[in-house]
Amino acid sequence: MRVLPLALWHRGDDASLVADAHRQARVTHGHVTNQVCCALYCLWARRLLHGRAPSEAFQDAVARLYELYEAGSAYRRSLDEEVRPHEPPVTNGDGYVVHTLHAARLALREASYEGAVKRAIQLGRDTDTNAAVAGGLAGIAFGESRIPGRWRRRLRGSERVEPLIERLVEWRLRT
Domains with residue ranges and CATH for the chain? 4-148 (1.10.4080.10)
Long-range contacts of 108-111 (CB under 8 A, 24+ apart): 108/54, 108/55, 108/58, 108/134, 108/137, 108/138, 108/141, 109/54, 109/55, 110/138
Distance CA 5, CA 33 (A): 20
Residue 173: pLDDT band (50, 70, 90) is confident
Q: What is the pLDDT of residues 12-24, one digit of tens each?
A: 999 999 999 999 9
Q: What is the pLDDT of residues 52-63, one digit of tens each?
A: 999 999 999 999
pTM (predicted TM-score): 0.94
